Amino acid sequence: MRRKTTRSKPVIRRKPRKKGSFFSGKLLRFSIIGFFILLFIGLGYHYRNGFLYYLGFKSYKLKYEQEQSKRISDIRNYQVLDNHKGKAIGIDVSEYQGEIDWDLVQNVEEEYPVSFVLVRATAGNDGEDQQFEQNWKAVKKQKLIRGAYHYYRPNENSLEQAKLFIKTVRLRKGDLPPVLDIEKLPKDQSLDSLKIGLRRWLKAVEAHYKVKPIIYTGEKYYDDFLKKDFSDYLFWIANYNFYREKIEEDWLFWQFTEKASVSGIKGNVDVNIFNGDVEQLRFITIE
């Protein structure tokens, strides 16, 4: 019998790994990864304000926008007030300012003296401003020229709105004429009906106080709807745009900002310029 011969498997010799190359490659990878991590952290820290803003952190965005807006408003406030030196400067307030420390209310932006205050008294046919009585008496006590205004709601009865204002406000010698604040367009009536309602309010209030009221509105509203049909009235115009630098000759008052600082009042305040000096302002008050 033949014997089976077994062939031995060839021995495969593996080349030993060089320890140096293995560890140096691993170290290189870690170094590259570490570099990019540090780079990312560094960039993130350097541009953290921008990242927070654009990644949608709403509270941060709101605070950032408010701060930027306030800085820009402050610059414009000083420019406008400087352009109107000699004019009487005043503010308008309502319950939205909360309780005001009237003993501290003296200057706008700590520099420009307050000469007059317009106080919201009523709104619509049933809204009485919760701070009106307190503000009304306090302004008189501070010996500032005062005036009262009514916020008109187009979709409510005009004569009822006039009655509410007359019931609420007692004008005295030295007070400014009553003011009608119209800002909204009607929902359920035509513009002609709105104008009829405004006329009724104005006539009823004029008949009671024996003085022609003043109309407050925005410049666009004034140009589009009121300028032609109510040309027999004096206007208090609101315009906060940067292109507007001076008061128009036919405006009685100009509300040029809603973001001013006044000592004694928390938050932003509306500021107004009268188209004349303090003595001329006294000339139009009730005798």
pLDDT digits (tens, 9 = 90+) for 82-116: 999 999 999 999 999 999 999 999 999 999 999 99
Nearest to 91 by CA among 75, 76, 109, 78: 109
> What is the widest separation between alpha-carbon atoms in the chain?
147
pLDDT in tens, 115-171: 999 999 999 999 999 999 999 999 999 999 999 999 999 999 999 999 999 999 999
Cβ atoms 224, 235 nearer than 8 A: no
What is the domain partition of the chain in residue ranges?
A: 24-53, 86-283
Which CATH fold topology does 86-283 show?
TIM Barrel (3.20.20)
Tokens read off for 280: 């001329």
pTM metric for this prediction:
0.77
